[in-house]
Structure 1
């Protein structure tokens, strides 16, 4: 082998080495690019984490040290649910000093519904009611009234006259003596009792309106509207009792029933109050005239 052949072999080996080196450089460049991309992604994640932590710290600092920026307050005026105080480090809620008091009309009209009411545990309770209305235009006494009993839907059944049971709702409740002024709410346990109460009321309505039945004849002292309500409660066996009387109905409606509104309360006591005022004025004028005759005055 001469010198030229040896050079050719050396050149071929060097070319192979150069190709391998070039390939290794390309692989190293690809690896560097991938590492740079990974580092950029990790840096971006770190920046996001840091920015979120800074925002949380800023919010926490804003809560501990409240301060209102005018521009933010104006742009978010509707959604601004808290008011801040510059001098104090405490957060003052919007209703820290109590919610605004409702008007008299709103507070009086906020009476519980007839059918369902929710307690603090969000458990619905079923109610029916005994309604009471005064009959001052006839007896001038707030102690005497007309009563009716309703189902869970608010339909009031009342013993109005001979063989006549009314079943009215809304503006027609107890139309014989005007709309009721007081309601006594009684609680039921479940829907089955509500259905059974409706069945009892329907049966009593049919019984009292049958002209052959003795119970359908109205008597002021012995068989009136209070007796009808007590009869329904006894037949229904409310709270597993069957000893309800007209006196019990009168006591419950007089002492425990709640007035619907101020107008109803005024209508209940208006006639007795007028009579009392007139009696006092008559007594004063009588005493003045008597003292004038005796010469004790002037």
Structure 2
């Protein structure tokens, strides 16, 4: 009995044991890292675009003018808010279909009087304030529209220390800098315009050949 006890004690001394607290700390650190990354990850299947401006074509209008479309802005949880009609701001149900283009903005460029840890709250609050305001407004295609709603949110949060965003600047920003969500988004954006342009070109050529 004493020999067996001695062997057991020796084995316990020889085999090093892993520090459980250190292992737990490392695991928590890894989990936090993965969690932070996934928070900002775009998920097209679930239609989640964290702190993004999103854009989708408007039938007929975008077919004729590809730089014109419907725009929305997403909270940091990825849920899209868009000024979809008179006195109505949609939530998680974007008008005219799923986004085809997006711009994911940098939260570090959000102006905040408080701690940098509060930037997500500043973004979300600005989006909700703009949405609440546009629930009181009549939709005007030329003067006060979905782009204006997004512009108000960006101006409210002072994104990139700018307070002069408007429908024109946002339209061109998205047109020249926006990314396509996938190849299908590219096709949805351009195929109708290219078909119409091809028809116009063919008709023009035929008419000229006949004259």
* Fold shared by both chains (TM-score > 0.5): yes
Aligned to 1:231: 152
- Moved beyond 3 Å, runs of 4+: none
Which sections of structure 2, spanning at least 5 residues, go unmatched? 1-36, 42-49, 109-115
Q: RMSD in angstroms over aligned alpha carbons?
A: 1.9
Structure 1 residues 198 and 139: CA distance shift in structure 2, 3 A: closer
- Work out which of the residue numbers 118, 127, 136 in structure 2 matches 1:192: 118
Query: Aligned residues, how many?
Result: 159
Q: Which has the higher contact order (CA 8 A, sep 6+)?
A: 2
Larger C-alpha radius of gyration, 1 or 2? 1
Structure 1 residues 114 and 229: CA distance shift in structure 2, 3 A: farther
Aligned to 1:37: none
Structure 1 residues 203 and 284: CA distance shift in structure 2, 3 A: closer
Equivalent residues in 2 for 1:75-114 (5 A)? none
Aligned to 1:217: 138
Once the 2 structures are TM-superposed, how far is the Cα of residue 139 of structure 1 from its aligned partner? Answer: 5.0
- Work out which of the residue numbers 126, 130, 135 in structure 1 matches 2:58: 135
TM-score (norm 1): 0.50
Structure 1 residues 165 and 148: CA distance shift in structure 2, 3 A: same
Aligned to 1:151: 75
TM-score (norm 2): 0.69
Once the 2 structures are TM-superposed, how far is the Cα of residue 162 of structure 1 from its aligned partner? Answer: 1.0
Contact preservation (8 Å) 2:107, 2:119:
yes
Aligned to 1:161: 85
Structure 1 residue 266 and structure 2 residue 203: aligned? no
Report the Cα distance in structure 2 between the residues aligned to 1:270 and 1:114, rounded to whole angstroms.
Answer: 33
